[in-house]
Amino acid sequence: MTSLLGRRIHIAGKISEDAQLVPTEKVTAVREFVSELVKSLLKEGATFVVPVDCEPTRPGDGLPVLFDWLVLETIRDYHATLRPAAARRDPRPLIVAVQHHKNKEQIPDEKCPIWDALNDVEDLVYIENAGHWNMASKRMDIQAAQGDVLIVLGGDEGVLYLANLYRDAGKPVIPLNFPIVPAEKGAQRLFDQALIRTQTEKFFQLPEQGAAHAALNKINLRESMSTVKKVEAVVHLISRLRKPVAFAVRLLNPKHDSYQAVEDYFETVVQPMVEEFGYELVTINGKRNEHAFINQEIFENLHRSSVVVVDVTGERPNCFIELGYALGRGLPVMVTAQEGTALPFDTSPVPTQMWTTTSTAAQKKRDFKAYWEANAQRRRIVEPDPLVP
C-alpha cells in the first residue's frame, strides 16, 4: 500500500522533564510509539520534515525530550527495507531537514553516524537552511512551509505556534493526547480544543462531511491500548485525510456565452489533471454554503488552499479580485484562459495557459500538465525583502 505516497509528515513535540509527572516508563512508551509510527508511515510511502539540532535530555533518566533524532534514526534503520517500490521511484526526497548555520556544531557526536548515513544515500535528504536565524520561530516557519501534515505530542508554546502555522495554510493538524506534559499544555490543550465538535474541522478534514469529530475520538488513545493499536489508529486517520485543496476560480454564470466552454474545460482537463497531481479541486458556486455570505467562504477557502487555478475567460471582475488575492498571498497560481480572452495584465510575471475548444481533450491535458510543471515552483511576484536576511 502507498496511501500516503509523497505526503510529507512532520512529527513535533516535547516530553516534560518532570519525572514525577512523566516517569521513565511513559517516556519509553511514547518513544516506542513514535518509532513504530515512523515505520508504518514509511510502509505507506510517506516522507518527512525533520529539524536537525541538538538533543536535550532529562536530568533524571537521561532520556531525550525531543523526537527528531528518534525519527531520523528510525528512517536510517528501516527506509531500505520498508519503503515500497513506488516511494523509492518518487523523485521527492524522503527527508526535508531543516537546520541553521550552527548545525554542524550542535549535532551531538553520537548522532553524527545517523546524519552521515542518511546523507550518504543520494537524494535521500534535502536540506533547508534558516541561515543565521537560530530562533525557533524562524525554523518553524520553514518546517510548516515544507510539511503537509503536522502530528503533535506533548510540547508547549512551540507546538501551538506550529499548529497555528499549519492551520493558516489549510494543512491538517493531528494532536495526540499522550500525557507527557501538563493537561493544559501543548498537544493536550490542542486535543481538548479539537474535541469541541464545532472546532474539529479546523484541525483536519475528511472527505465525508462531519466525519472529522468521530475520527478524532478514535485516536483518543487510552494508556491501556497497545502501541500497535495506537499506531494503526493514527495511520488510518492520516490515510483518510482530505487531499490538499486546489481552489478553482472561474466563470460560473450559466448565461454567459463562454460558460459551457469553461465548464467542459474544467470537467475534461482541469479536474482530472488536478486529481492526478494529488489535489482535490474545490469550486464554490453558491449551491451549498457554510457561511452566511458566499464571499466570506470563497476567501476563507482561497486563503487556505495549497494551489489556486484561475481561469479568466469571460473577464469577470470577481475572478481578477480572487486572482490578485492568491498572488498577494504567495500561493502557487495556475492561470488559464480561452484563446481570444483579453488579459488585462502582463503575462510575463503571470504566465497564462491559453486553451482552445478545437484541441482534443488529450492535447489540452498535455498542455495543462506542461504548464503546471513549469510553473508550480514559480517565484512570488514580490519576494520577502527583510532588513536583516
Q: What is the pLDDT of residues 314-330, one digit of tens each?
A: 999 999 999 999 999 99
Say which residue the cell 529539524 belongs to. Answer: 51
Q: In terms of domains, do 119 and 231 share one?
A: yes
Same domain flag for 81 and 140: yes
Backbone angles phi, psi at 356, to 5 degrees: -125, 160
Q: What is the pLDDT of residues 262-284, one digit of tens each?
A: 999 999 999 999 999 999 999 98
99-152 per-position pLDDT tens digit: 876 666 778 899 999 999 999 999 899 998 876 666 788 889 999 999 999 999
Highest mean pLDDT (candidates 131-145, 228-242, 336-350)? 228-242
Residue 8 has pLDDT above 70, yes or no: yes
Under the banding of pLDDT at 50, 70 and 90, the label for residue 291 is very low
Q: Could you tell me which of 316, 317, 320 has the C-alpha nearest to residue 350?
A: 320
Q: Report the mean per-residue pLDDT for the chain.
A: 92
Q: How does residue 292 score in pLDDT terms, banded at 50, 70 and 90?
A: very low
Same domain, 191 and 256: no
From 181, 214, 240, give the residue that closes a domain: 240
Assess whether 228 and 106 both reside in one domain.
Answer: yes
d(CA 135, CA 152): 20
**Last-in-domain residue among 207, 240, 273:** 240
Domain extent, residue 207, equals 8-240
What grid cell was written down for 287? 449551491
Confidence of residue 374 (pLDDT cuts 50, 70, 90): very high
Confidence class for position 287, pLDDT limits 50, 70, 90: low
**Of the residues 178, 206, 240, the one at which a domain ends:** 240
Same domain, 210 and 252: no
Q: What is the pLDDT of residue 389?
A: 64
- Once rounded to an integer, what is the mean pLDDT over residues 325-338? 95
Please report whether residue 382 resides in a domain: no
Structural domains in the chain (count): 2
pTM: 0.92
Residue 107 and residue 182 share a domain: yes
Contacts of 157 (CB under 8 A, 6+ apart): 186
Tell me which DSSP letter residue 242 carries: P
d(CA 134, CA 191) in angstroms, rounded, equals 29
Angle at Cα 304 formed by Cα 185 and Cα 131, nearest 5°? Answer: 70
Q: Is the pLDDT of residue 214 over 80?
A: yes
From the CA atom positions of the chain, what is the Rg in Å? 23
Q: Phi, psi at residue 169, to the nearest 5°? A: -90, 5
Q: What pLDDT score was predicted for residue 289?
A: 47
Q: Residue 5 pLDDT > 80, yes or no?
A: yes
CA distance 189 to 163: 11
Residues 123 and 227 grouped into a single domain: yes
pLDDT greater than 50 at residue 335 = yes
Average of per-residue pLDDT across 34-48: 97
Question: Both 18 and 145 in a single domain?
Answer: yes
Given a cut of 70, whether residue 64 has pLDDT beyond it is yes
CATH number of the domain residue 109 falls in: 3.40.50.450
384, part of any domain: no
For the stretch 75-95, pLDDT in tens is 999 999 999 999 999 999 999
The pLDDT of residue 103: 61
Contact 312, 319 (CB under 8 A): yes
Position 79 scores a pLDDT of 97
Query: Would you state the pLDDT for residue 286?
Result: 57
